[in-house]
Structure 1
């Protein structure tokens, strides 16, 4: 996996958001609420996934193995 994965997933999320925007066209009085809920859900899910993915890709603290013995 590379650092480009969040970019491609972001493009897919934007595409899904646009698709949901078009799919909820003229669906009644709650159209704006439905669109807002879908777009906010996609945005929050993408941001949560991207932050966790990038934190694992480039950790701030180098992991240390605890099962090693120190040689004298």
Structure 2
């Protein structure tokens, strides 16, 4: 189910980026604004996806400290 969440959120971010691409006002800074919006969306998505997957599949298993030594 985790892969499906990543794909769904990625599709939503791609749709927002496509809308932002075409809705951006014309002018001298249009390329700069498009680049800023798309880089912001991409970096926020990557940060979310990495954090989500790191919590879902941790590299180090947590250990309980309240157990006796023989366990």
Tell me, in whole angstroms, the C-alpha distance in 1 between the residues paired with 2:64 and 2:23. Answer: 51
Find the counterpart in structure 1 of residue 10 from structure 2. 10
TM-score scaled to structure 1, two decimals? 0.87
TM-score scaled to structure 2, two decimals? 0.88
Tell me, in whole angstroms, the C-alpha distance in 2 between the residues paired with 1:30 and 1:9. Answer: 29
CA offsets 1:11-66 (integer angstroms, 9 cap, x no match): 0000000010011052x100000000000000000000000000111111111111
Tell me, in whole angstroms, the C-alpha distance in 2 between the residues paired with 1:63 and 1:4. Answer: 26
- In the alignment of these two chains, the number of paired residues is 71
Flag as ranges the 4+ runs of structure 1 deviating above 6 A.
none
> What are the ranges of 5 or more consecutive residues in structure 2 without an aligned counterpart?
none
Greater helix share, structure number: 2
